Amino acid sequence: MAIFIPTYGLITALDLAQIFISQVFSKHGLPVSVVSDRCSLFVSSFWTNLCQKLKISRDLSTAIHPETDGQTERENQILEQYLWMY
């Protein structure tokens, strides 16, 4: 399941954690894993420690692993289509 949450301006890893707590975890519970690209927000030491403490597996996409990268890219395409309509 993909969840799209609009943000304004640049956000930090701490901002991202707060968004996950208020918009994702509170509505859907803690995930078993999170699939993301290698954005600095998702590979920061804060985010790494948060996932370790909550026992959440992080699955980062790579160029040599098309299944993971394809999943992220497909969700990005869907989001672009939604945004194009506005």
76-86 pLDDT, tens digit each? 787 788 777 76
- Quick check: 58 pLDDT over 60? yes
Region 52-77 average pLDDT: 72
Looking at the DSSP bridge assignments, the partners of residue 36 are 60
Cα distance between residue 84 and residue 38, in whole Å: 25
Amino acid at 79: L
pLDDT digits (tens, 9 = 90+) for 6-40: 888 888 888 888 888 898 888 889 888 877 767 76
Instruction: Give the start-to-end residue ranges of the domains of the chain.
Output: 30-84
CA 48 to chain centre: 13
Amino acid at 82: Y
Considering the domain 30-84 in this protein, what is its CATH number?
A: 3.30.420.10
Of residues 11 and 69, which shows the higher confidence score? 11
